[in-house]
Amino acid sequence: MRKTAAASPLQPALSAFRAAARPGYRAGMDGGPTSSRDLGQEAYARIREAIRAGALAPGERLTETDLAARFGVSRTPVRQAIARLEAEGLVTHEPRRGLAVTRPDHQQVVELYVMREVLEGAAARLAAQHASETEIAAMAEIVEQEPACFGDGEALAQVNQRLHGLLYLAAHNRYLLRSLEQLAATMSLLPTLLTRGGRAEQAHAEHRAILEAIIRRDGDAAETAARAHARAAQKHRLAWMVGTVGVPVAVPGGRR
């Protein structure tokens, strides 16, 4: 039986940092959103999370009426949320079908990985410069957990998400964090390939290289390792898209 990891002692600090990175975030301060703008933000956050978690799957048709009923809000905030999600590329209008959760095509996947390489490379460099010892220890703990999850696609995807999330936070740059979170939300539309073609073992080795560079406080090496990790993930993804590495496990948000 796989041992369940203890809750991270970083969580309160990380939650505060994430809140600070979002101007206007007021959870727990005023009893909930009341204005149209607040309701639109709430609807946006809930629909976005449903897409990220796979509850709303790529290609699934969406209507304002259905979304309003599903999330218990009126159509006006849903309309506001849809406008934001469409601007972020998470939903699109498909011919003869209307609004749907985006299904990334080959060119979109290429563009996503190009941006991932740039942004995660920057995050790794900054983490080497600014990460606290506690943050580094938390990342090391997660990396050590990975081999125990190699046979469990869902668990491996979750561990992978936590590691990358900690890396983003350890960079201590709220503007980079926003860009990375938006990119991660779009990449969550892609099914995980971590359990196919030996990718889990490769990704683990790449994660170790990134972490070791951060531990040495070597920004150049950390960025180089993170960029190599993104390029390897892109190569594996594109190979799968042309049918050379088998069928992916459909775990939302795994993607690497």
Domain CATH for 118: 1.20.120.530
Do 175 and 149 lie in a common domain? yes
76 in any annotated domain: yes
203 domain residue, yes or no: yes
For residue 217, CA distances in Å to 121, 127, 129, 131, 203 come to 14, 8, 6, 9, 21
pLDDT at 256: 57
pLDDT band at 157 (very low <50, low <70, confident <90, very high): confident
Same domain, 113 and 166: yes
Residue matched to tokens 């995980």 = 192
Percent pLDDT > 70 in the chain is: 81
Same domain as 233, residue 188: yes
Per-residue model confidence as pLDDT tens digits over 68-122: 999 999 999 999 999 999 988 899 988 888 999 998 888 999 999 999 999 999 9
65-69, 84-88, 189-193, 248-252: range with lowest mean pLDDT: 248-252
Instruction: Give mean pLDDT, residues 118-138.
Output: 98
> How far is it, in rounded angstroms, from Cα 236 to Cα 194?
9
Compute φ and ψ for 186, nearest 5 degrees.
-70, -40
Q: In terms of domains, do 219 and 138 share one?
A: yes
Tell which of 101, 120, 150 closes a domain.
101
Q: What is the average pLDDT score of the chain?
A: 84
Q: Which of 141, 144, 169, 238 is nearest to 199 (CA)?
A: 238
- Report the distance separating Cα 157 and Cα 182, nearest Å: 18
Answer with the one of 101, 128, 159 that is the final residue of a domain: 101
pLDDT digits (tens, 9 = 90+) for 4-35: 444 444 444 445 445 544 444 333 334 444 56
pLDDT of residue 34: 53
Q: Which domain holds residue 30?
A: 25-101
pLDDT at 203: 96
- Same domain assignment for residues 110 and 45: no
Domain-embedded: residue 219: yes
| pLDDT of amino acid 250 | 43
80 is a domain residue:
yes
The arithmetic mean of pLDDT across residues 180-188, rounded, is: 89
Dihedral over Cα of 208, 127, 158, 183: its sign: negative
Judge whether 165 lies within some domain.
yes
What's the pLDDT tens digit per position in 230-246?
999 999 999 988 875 44
DSSP the chain: -PPPPPPPTTHHHHHHHHHHTSTT--TTTSSS--SHHHHHHHHHHHHHHHHHHTSS-TT-B--HHHHHHHHT--HHHHHHHHHHHHHTTSEEEETTTEEEE----HHHHHHHHHHHHHHHHHHHHHHHHH--HHHHHHHHHHHHHGGGGTT-HHHHHHHHHHHHHHHHHHT--HHHHHHHHHHHHHHTTSPB-TTSTTHHHHHHHHHHHHHHHHHTT-HHHHHHHHHHHHHHHHHHHHHHHTTSS-PPB--TT---
Please report whether residue 122 resides in a domain: yes
Within this chain, do residues 50 and 115 fall inside the same structural domain, yes or no?
no
Mark whether 113 and 94 lie in a shared domain.
no
225 and 114 within one domain: yes
Residues 60, 163 within the same domain: no
Band (225; pLDDT cuts 50, 70, 90) = very high
Is residue 255 domain-resident? no
Residues 97 and 120 grouped into a single domain: no
Say what the pLDDT of residue 15 is. Answer: 53
49 and 33 assigned to the same domain: yes
How far, in whole angstroms, is CA 219 from its chain's centroid?
A: 23
Q: Which of 69, 85, 101 is the last residue of a domain?
A: 101
For residue 56, the domain's CATH number is 1.10.10.10
36-45, 70-79, 134-143, 156-165: the lowest-pLDDT one? 36-45
Q: Looking at the structure, do residues 47 and 157 belong to the same domain, yes or no?
A: no
The region, left, alpha or beta by phi > 0 then psi within -120 to 50, assigned to residue 6 is beta
